[in-house]
Structure 1
Amino acid sequence: MGYEVELKLSIDKVDAKKLHLIPLIVNSCVNKPTKNKIISIYFDTPDLILLDAGITFRIRQKSSKWMQTIKLAGTANSGLHQRNEWEDLVSAYHPDFTKIKEPSLIKFFADRKLRASLIPIFRTEIMREEWFLSFDNGDQVELSSDSGLLKSNQFQEPINEIELELKAGNVGRIFEVALALQKTIPLRIENNSKAKRGYEYFRPNSLQTFKAKLPALDKNIDAHTAFKIIATECINHLEINRDIVLMDSDIEGIHQMRVALRRLRAAFALFKDRINSEESSLILTEVSWLANQLGKVRDLDVLITETLPIISGYSKNHNGVLVLSKHAKQARQVACKDMQEAIMSQRYHRLLLTLSSWLENERWLKVKYKNDHFKLLNFAKKSLNKSYKRLLQSELHFIDMQPQDRHKVRIAAKKLRYAMEFFYNLYPTKQIDPFIKKLAKLQDLLGQMNDINVTHGLLRSISKTTPSASLNDAISAYQAWGRGKIKQECSKADSALKKLLKVKLFWIDIKKY
C-alpha cells in the first residue's frame, strides 16, 4: 500500500512547453525528462458500485507494462489530493484479483457477481512528460505534465494539467514548486481528479453550497497544530463553494465564501501572538481584496432580496422602487463579473498556494514558539476569556451607541462565536450549545442593523448616479423604516445580551474536560 499525496493544477496546452525553461525545474531535476504515452482504463459496474464504495479501479498501460491501481476516496482540498492506493503489475488490461492483498479489499472483491459485472466505463489517453525533482533538504517531488483526452462513450474532453506528487519530505514543498511554476505559467488549482471527471458523464453532481465544518480538534494537541487545522478548514470551506459561484453567482455560495474568509481572519486574530506578522500581513491584504470582491455582490444581494421587498411594501407600484430595482440588478451584474474574474485570476490561485505553503512549511509560526507545545485547552481558555471581555467593553445600551460602535460589538460577537466553533469539540455540547445559541441571536440582531446601515450607503450611491424625485421618495421610505427597525432591534439586542450574560462561562474550569 502507498499513500498518494499530489497537487493537481490545470494549465493551457501551449504553456506546457515552458516547463523546460523554469529555473527550479532545470536546477532541481535529477534526470532527463521522460515522455510516454499512457492509456488508463477505469472499471466499474453498470450501476457504479465501486463509485458508491469510494473505490477507483484503474488499469494503466505505460510503455509495454500494465499497472493495476486501486485507490480509496481520500480527500481533495485546494487541489491537494491525499489517499491510500495499491499498485501492482498485471499481465494485461483485465483486472487481476489475485494481486489484491489488502484484507478489506479482498473481502469487497470476493463477490463473484461483482467481479463478473466489472466493465470498462471510461478511459484517458495522454502524453505524459515527467521530471523527478530533488532538493537539498531531502524533499523529492515528481512533476508530471499531462496532455490528452478523457473519453467516455461518444463524449470526450481535453486534459491539460500538471501533477506534483510528493515522493519524500514535507508536503509544503509541492506548494513551493507550484508557486515557482506560476511565475512562468498561468495555472489553476484543480480539485477534480481524472476519475471524478470521468464519472461525471455517468452520474453528474449537481452543484451545491457548503457551510463551514467544525475543525477536528483534540484537546491534547498543541495550539500551533490547532491553528494549522483551523486555517486549512477555512481554505477548504472557501474552495468547496468556488464552482457554484463561478457557475451561476449563487447567492448562498457567495455568502459562504465570505464566511470562509471571515473565519480565516478570525483565526489569524485569535492566534496573532504566535503568528509572524510580516508575511501574514501580506496574506491578509490579499484576503481583504478577495473579501471586498465578494462583499460588493453580497451587499447588493441583501438590497435586492431583502431591502427592495420592504420598500415595495411601503411604496407599492412606486416608480422610484422600479428604478431602484433596475439599477440594483444592473449593479449586481457588473459586481458579479468583477467577482468571477477575481476568483478565476492568477491572484486568487496564488493566494491559495501561498496560504498552503505558509501553513505547511510553518513559516507562520514565530521562532520562539517552535518548540512550545502549549496545550490547546489552556490556549482556548485564555482566548475565549479575551474575546468575551472584548464583547463586554461597552456599558451603553445599543440605542445610545453610534452605528460604528454597534458595528464593533457585532465584530466582537462574531469573533467570539467563531472561536467557540473552532474549539467546539473541546467542550461538552450541553454546555457550549446554549452559549452559542444565545450568542448567535445577539450576532444576528446586530447583523440586521449593520445590513440596514450598509444598505443606506448603497442607496445613496445609486441615487447619486441616477437622481430623481421618485427615487428619493423610495429611499426616504426605506430610511424611515430603517430608523424604526433599528430602534426595535436595539431593544431586542439589549435583551439578548442580558440573556447571554446569564449563561455560565463553561470554559473557566478546564479541569472537568
Structure 2
Amino acid sequence: MNAETELKFRIPPRQMASVLCNHRPRGATSRQTLVSTYFDTRKHKLGRHALTLRVREVEGHFVQTVKADGSGSMTRGEWESDVAGARPDLGKASNSPLHRFTAKKLARKLKPMFRTEVRRTAQARRVRNSRIELAIDHGRIACGRRSRPVSELELELKSGRIADLFRLARRLERSTHAELDLRSKSERGFELVAGSGGGAHHAEPIALKHALSPRDAFAVIARSALRQITANADAVRAKEPEGIHQMRVGLRRLRAAISLFRELLPRASTARIKAELKWLTNELAPARELDVYLTQSIAPAADQGVPKRGVRAIRSRFETQKEEAFARARDAVGSARYRRMLIDVMEWIESGRARAGDDRSIASYAAEVLDRRIGKVRKQGKQLGELDPRQRHKLRIRIKKIRYAVDFFESLYRDRDQSTLASLSDRLKRIQSALGSLNDFMAHRTLATEAALSAPPANRRAQAFVSGFIVGRERKAAHGLMQDAEKELHRLHRLNIAPGK
C-alpha cells in the first residue's frame, strides 16, 4: 500500500499556463493523457464503504487503483496494480480493502459508472528539503451525455514535511488564485451520476471510531465542516439563499467543534483561525438575515389585510438591501482572504497532534462533554424568564453546540440507543428554534423601526403601518415561544446512555 498526501485546488483555466511558466521546476516536465473509468455496483457498495475503484489507461497501459477515503484527510491509502485491460481484475486487489468482499460476486456486479479524460502536465518541485509533485489536470468528467469540466491543480508530497506542501500552496494561491477543493474527481463523478453537485450541499454524516483519540476525532469532524464550507462556494457565488445558509452551517459546525474540543487545541493558532471564521460568518450574515426577514416576516404580511402600498414599499427597500448583502457574500468568497483562510484552516487541522499523556478515547471524551454541557444548560434554563435578550442568545448558542455535539458523536452510540439520541436532538432543536425566533424578532424590530423612520414621505405612513404590524405580530408570538422553550427545557435531562460498540 502507498499513502498519498496531497492537496487539490480549483484553478481558472486561464491561469494554468502561468503555474508552469512562473515557477521554475527542479526536474523534467511530463505530459500525459489519462483516461480513467470508475467502477461500482448499482447500489454503490464501494462508495458506501468509502472505497474507490478505477482503471486508468496511459498510452495503452492499464493500471487498476483502489483508494480508501481518509475521512477527508489529505492522506489516503492507495493500492495500485497493472491489469491486462480496461476491466478491473479483483484478483490483483487482494491486498487492498476490497479483500473484505467476495471477489467473484463483486466482480459480477461491478459496472462502469463514469469516465474522466484529462491532459496532465506534471513537474517536480523542491521546497526546502521536501520533494513535491505539481500536476495540472485539464479535461472532462463524463457520464453518458452529461459532462463537467476539470481544471485542477494537485500538489502531492513525495517526501519531506507537510509544512512545505502548504508553503508551496500559499505561493501558488497568490500567483494563480488557486482555491482549495476537498472533492476528488471520483466524488464529482458520482455527483454527476446522481444528477447532483450543483446548488447547496448539506453536512455529511460523521463516522468516528471508538479507538480514536479526542484530537484525531476533532480532525475528522473539522474536515467534515470544512468540506461543507468549500462545497457551497459556488452556490454562494450564484447568490443562492440555501447555499449561503449551508456555508454558514458549515462555519457554525466548525466553530462549535472548536468550542467542544478547545482544551485540546493550541491557543495561539486556534485564536487566529477563529478570527478568520468569524470574519466569513459576518460577511454572510446580512444576506441570510435579510432573506429570512423578507420570506418569513414581510411576505406573510401581504396576506393579512395590511396596505399593499406599504408592503410593496418595504419589500422593495429590503430586496435592494438583500441584493447588496448577497453581493457582499459573493465578494467575500471570491476574495484572496477566503482562499488563504481555507489553506490556513486545512494546515491547522492536519498539523494537530494528541497531547502526550492524554490516553482518553473519543468515547469517554464525548460522554463527558455531553454530560457537562447538558447539566449547565439545564441549570441556566430554570431562570429562562429572568434572562435578558443577550443572555437568551448565549443560552441558544450553548444549546446549538450540544445539538452539534450529538450529531458529531452519534456514531459512537449503539444502535439500540439511537432513538434516545434522536429524542434529545429533537428536544434541543425545538428549544433552539424557539429561542432563535425570539432572537430574530429582536433583529426584525430594529429593521422595522429603521424602515419606518427613514421611509420617504410618500410612503412613510404605509411603511410605518406595515412595520408596526410585523412587530406587533411577532411580539404576540413571542409569549408562546417563551412558554414552548421553558416547557422543553424543563423536560431536558442528562443522557442515561453511554457510547459503546
User: TM-score under structure 1 normalisation?
Assistant: 0.80
Tell me which amino acid in the other structure corresponds to 1:322. Answer: R
- 8 Å contact 2:34–2:117 — kept in the other structure? yes
1:88-487 maps to which residues of 2 (within 5 A)?
88=82, 95=86, 101-103=92-94, 107=104, 123-124=117-118, 126=119, 128-133=121-126, 136=129, 140-146=131-137, 148-150=138-140, 160-168=151-159, 174-191=165-182, 193=184, 204-205=195-196, 207=198, 209-247=200-238, 249-362=239-352, 369-394=355-380, 397-427=383-413, 428-467=417-456, 468-487=460-479
Task: Measure, in 2, the Cα distance between the counterparts of 1:203 and 1:496.
Answer: 39
Question: Identity percentage over the alignment?
Answer: 24
Tell me which amino acid in the other structure corresponds to 1:439. Answer: L
SS in 1 for 2:175: coil
Q: CA deviation at 1:68?
A: 1.7
Task: Measure, in 2, the Cα distance between the counterparts of 1:109 and 1:221.
Answer: 31
Structure 2 residue runs of 5 or longer lacking an equivalent are 47-51
Q: CA deviation at 1:299?
A: 0.7
SS in 1 for 2:177: coil
- 8 Å contact 1:445–1:489 — kept in the other structure? yes
In structure 2, the CA distance between the partners of 1:302 and 1:202, relative to structure 1 (3 Å rule), is: closer
Task: Measure, in 1, the Cα distance between the counterparts of 2:473 and 2:87.
Answer: 72
Task: Measure, in 2, the Cα distance between the counterparts of 1:109 and 1:506.
Answer: 42
Task: Measure, in 2, the Cα distance between the counterparts of 1:119 and 1:290.
Answer: 37
In structure 2, the CA distance between the partners of 1:39 and 1:253, relative to structure 1 (3 Å rule), is: same
- 8 Å contact 1:9–1:163 — kept in the other structure? yes
The more displaced of 96-105 and 459-468 is 96-105
2:486 paired residue number: 494
SS in 2 for 1:211: coil
The more displaced of 99-108 and 7-16 is 99-108
Aligned residue pairs, count: 483
SS in 1 for 2:134: strand
1:58 paired residue number: 56
SS in 1 for 2:176: coil
Q: CA deviation at 1:423?
A: 2.4
- 8 Å contact 2:363–2:499 — kept in the other structure? no
In structure 2, the CA distance between the partners of 1:492 and 1:351, relative to structure 1 (3 Å rule), is: same
Task: Measure, in 2, the Cα distance between the counterparts of 1:352 and 1:44.
Answer: 29
1:267-306 Cα shifts (integer Å, max 9, x gaps): 1112222222222111111111111122211111211221
- 8 Å contact 2:67–2:79 — kept in the other structure? no
Out of 40, 45, 65, the position equivalent to 2:34 is 40
Tell me which amino acid in the other structure corresponds to 1:483. Answer: R
Q: CA deviation at 1:474?
A: 0.5
Out of 63, 67, 74, the position equivalent to 1:69 is 63
Task: Measure, in 1, the Cα distance between the counterparts of 2:481 and 2:240.
Answer: 29
SS in 2 for 1:423: helix
Tell me which amino acid in the other structure corresponds to 1:391. Answer: V
SS in 1 for 2:135: strand
In structure 2, the CA distance between the partners of 1:429 and 1:198, relative to structure 1 (3 Å rule), is: closer
- 8 Å contact 1:315–1:321 — kept in the other structure? no
The more displaced of 476-485 and 387-396 is 387-396
1:1-12 maps to which residues of 2 (within 5 A)?
2-12=2-12
1:46-95 Cα shifts (integer Å, max 9, x gaps): x997999754332123xxxx4323345754987958463524387xxx63
SS in 1 for 2:202: coil
Task: Measure, in 1, the Cα distance between the counterparts of 2:212 and 2:88.
Answer: 41
Q: CA deviation at 1:129?
A: 3.7
- 8 Å contact 1:308–1:325 — kept in the other structure? yes
2:49 paired residue number: none
Task: Measure, in 1, the Cα distance between the counterparts of 2:345 and 2:227.
Answer: 12
Q: CA deviation at 1:6?
A: 2.9
Instruction: Say what the alpha-carbon RMSD is for the aligned residues.
Output: 4.0
Task: Measure, in 2, the Cα distance between the counterparts of 1:266 and 1:409.
Answer: 14
- 8 Å contact 1:74–1:82 — kept in the other structure? yes
Q: CA deviation at 1:114?
A: 8.5
Task: Measure, in 2, the Cα distance between the counterparts of 1:224 and 1:79.
Answer: 14
Task: Measure, in 2, the Cα distance between the counterparts of 1:8 and 1:286.
Answer: 21
SS in 2 for 1:7: strand
Q: CA deviation at 1:406?
A: 1.5
Tell me which amino acid in the other structure corresponds to 1:357. Answer: E
Q: CA deviation at 1:133?
A: 3.5
In structure 2, the CA distance between the partners of 1:342 and 1:70, relative to structure 1 (3 Å rule), is: farther
In structure 2, the CA distance between the partners of 1:457 and 1:83, relative to structure 1 (3 Å rule), is: farther
The more displaced of 154-163 and 348-357 is 154-163
Task: Measure, in 2, the Cα distance between the counterparts of 1:327 and 1:357.
Answer: 43
- 8 Å contact 2:294–2:318 — kept in the other structure? yes
Tell me which amino acid in the other structure corresponds to 1:373. Answer: D
In structure 2, the CA distance between the partners of 1:10 and 1:239, relative to structure 1 (3 Å rule), is: closer
Tell me which amino acid in the other structure corresponds to 1:271. Answer: F
SS in 1 for 2:156: strand
- 8 Å contact 1:150–1:198 — kept in the other structure? no
- 8 Å contact 1:397–1:494 — kept in the other structure? no
SS in 1 for 2:352: coil
Q: CA deviation at 1:384?
A: 2.6
Task: Measure, in 1, the Cα distance between the counterparts of 2:208 and 2:194.
Answer: 34
Q: CA deviation at 1:355?
A: 0.9
Q: CA deviation at 1:412?
A: 1.8
Task: Measure, in 2, the Cα distance between the counterparts of 1:88 and 1:2.
Answer: 15
1:369-395 Cα shifts (integer Å, max 9, x gaps): 344223333433432343234324546
- 8 Å contact 1:88–1:99 — kept in the other structure? no
- 8 Å contact 1:172–1:356 — kept in the other structure? no
- 8 Å contact 2:284–2:328 — kept in the other structure? no
